[in-house]
Chains A and B, each alone.
Chain A
Amino acid sequence: MSVLCLVEHDDEGVNDASLRALSFARRLGDSSGESLIAMCVGAASDNSVQVLGQYGVGELYPVNGAPFESFAPVAWAKALLELAAATSASAVVAAGTDRGNEVMAHAGALSGLTMVANCFEATRVDHETVHLTRQRWAGSLIEEARLEATTALLTVAFDGVDAEATSEPTQVSVHPFAPHIDEGDVAVRVAHFRARDAGVSLADARVVVGGGRGVGSAEGFAAIEELATLLGGAVGVSRAVTSLGWRPHSQQVGQTGTRITPDLYLVCGISGATQHLAGCQSAKHVVAINTDPDAPIIMRADYAVIGDLNEIVPALVDAIRART
């Protein structure tokens, strides 16, 4: 018996969200003395294999071949289910990313099994029962639940779980895995991918500079952009700003936008509606610049500056430039 975790990786290595999912899956396995195994699509680099060992993965099953040359959610789900059956997995876990949730939902539909999303703690109680804690309302509410399943399908609220390496790294044995995939399983697949302008992606950014209605206009974002660039970070915005058409929705932080996990969220002129706070709850440090000392964001922040961002941000940009 084992706990099987889907690992997403790219040229830069294993994704941060997957490291968090691995930490969750390892604890689930520890609760019942089961080993942690992983599946990835495409060959894993030596470095990635080493990182997986640091997270306690005993066996890695890379999947390759024509059906996996571009992302096809049904093919990924079938591969996971076939591997889960072959390894008698008691749980299949993926990060709650767009892909992770999508693949696991297909796995649930194909197998008829229950799929539980947004989990952040799981303990196996017995052969047929898992105790789960998961987010509802994007983390504003916590649900404790009992899942009756010999094979649990779970996705991980990655902003509710830290990436923690194990104190006892494992030696990873690599077993290429060739699942049975039909033509129909790749009928829906990525036909092509278009990279957008280079820059730090919001979901992965270590620093995010946020701008809200307080920025005042689309043009006002020039200073926010400049500050983000100086800090090597990305721009994030509130829902008000995308609704006003000042910035594209791809920059929206929140429940219906991107959920960010930066070390620093420097948030300017955003009052902090629940929908927004749901997207930044795991930011390590929050620094707020706001005219209203009673805004909800000030309650969420670790540090605050009270005042007009349109004066403070340009002054901060000048001060950073003057340093160098």
Chain B
Amino acid sequence: MNVLVCVKRVAMVGAKIVITPDGQDIDTRHLGFTISPHEECAIEEAVRIVEHHGGTVSVLTLGPSEAVEQLRDAAATGASRLLHLQGGEREWDPIATAQAIAEAVATREEADGAYDLILFGNEAPDTGDYQVGIRVAHLLGRPCVSGAKYLELSDGRAQVRREFRGGDEFFEFDLPGVVAVKEGINLPRYPSLPGRMRAKKATIDESEPRWREGALHKQRLSVPSTTRERAELLGTGVAAVPALLALLERLGVLA
């Protein structure tokens, strides 16, 4: 089973995001970088699939040169092939991103054979577009399910479970296919020391995808105004219970 996981390098933002003076970006000078929790789970899921079925885990990222850090982190938890699409400092929109990924997949598959499964995180934490995986699936002509909280592969088929309004929906489709996963599908492991050593030496397959201008033009970023008053203190400890009860009555939530 050959599995490809696509990830995106994003800043580790804290409680207060700082914008650059031109309003075009977030100020990342004092920030670390990571991938989203959904994507950490996607890598873990791929590693588990390969542990069970055999095969390889490849991880791909489109991003600046520094994004190889995220590829090495993935190698430390079990990815064996690392693909870096050199995206430079520009922001790639979901259409350009999906085209770059689909083209890279087609090139790699010609050399190495098809990926049985391509995994994505459900959405990127920064832009939250919810669509790169789905667009890649359409470009490759493969079935796609997003929001996966459970995934099982057997006999060339995938079964996916996801949550829908207090219940679970089940999908089934023939491989090869694309699945966008959500945090909660598993609990990712921590990288091992030998994994980290291996990751340092791992080779990275570099390529330069073609940039395409999108139809959405960012004009300005801003931080939402938080002119919130400090909370009204109802009291301390159990002595506050009568005030709390009165508040619940006032809000009309007591039957």
Contact = CB atoms under 8 A, between A and B. Distances in A.
Interface of A: 10, 71, 96, 98-99, 101-102, 104-106, 108-110, 112, 114-118, 132, 135-149, 155, 187-196, 199, 201-204, 206-207, 231-233, 239, 242-243, 245, 248-250, 252, 255-257, 263-264, 273-274, 277, 285-288, 296, 298-308, 311-312, 315-316, 319-320, 323-324
B238 A298 contact: no
Contacts of A308: 237
A300 B237 CA distance: 20
Contact of A296 (B15, B130, B162): B15
B127 interface: yes
B165 A116 contact: no
Nearest to B224: A142
Interface of B: 13-15, 17, 19, 26, 36-38, 93-95, 98, 123, 125-131, 134-135, 137-139, 143-147, 149, 162-173, 182-184, 187, 214-224, 228, 230-238, 240-245, 247-248, 251, 253-255
A195 to B, nearest CB: 4
Contact of A139 (B131, B170, B171, B224): B224
Given A101-B130, A256-B38, 18 more contacts: A98-B162, A108-B95, A109-B139, A117-B123, A137-B125, A138-B128, A141-B17, A193-B170, A196-B166, A202-B166, A250-B184, A252-B184, A264-B253, A274-B13, A287-B234, A312-B237, A315-B241, A319-B242
Listed from nearest, the 6 A-B pairs whose CB atoms lie closest are A249-B184, A105-B131, A201-B166, A109-B138, A307-B237, A101-B130
Contacts, number: 249
23 contacts: A101-B123, A105-B135, A136-B127, A136-B128, A139-B224, A141-B17, A142-B223, A147-B216, A188-B143, A188-B173, A199-B166, A233-B253, A249-B183, A257-B184, A299-B231, A302-B232, A305-B240, A305-B244, A307-B240, A312-B238, A312-B241, A319-B245, A320-B254
A298 B131 contact: no
A281 to B, nearest CB: 9
Does more than half of chain B's interface fall in helix, strand or loop, or is it mixed? Answer: mixed
A263 B253 contact: yes
Given A231-B248, A232-B253, A264-B253, A196 B168 contact: yes
A317 to B, nearest CB: 10
A233 B95 CA distance: 40
A8 to B, nearest CB: 9
Contacts of A132: 216
A141 B149 contact: no
Contacts of B93: 114
Contact of A143 (B134, B163, B168, B218): B218
B215 A144 contact: no
B184 A137 contact: no
B184 A242 contact: yes
Contacts of A194: 167-168, 170
B215 A140 contact: no
A136 B248 CA distance: 33
A75 to B, nearest CB: 13
Contacts of A192: 169-170
A159 to B, nearest CB: 12
Contacts of A257: 183-184
A144 B26 contact: no
A137 B231 contact: no
A140 B224 contact: yes
A109 B163 contact: no
A140 B166 contact: no
Contact of A102 (B13, B147, B243): B147
Contacts of B171: 188-191
B173 to A, nearest CB: 5
A202 B184 CA distance: 16
A12 B232 CA distance: 36
A193 B231 contact: no
B222 A155 contact: no
A278 B130 CA distance: 17
B238 A311 contact: yes
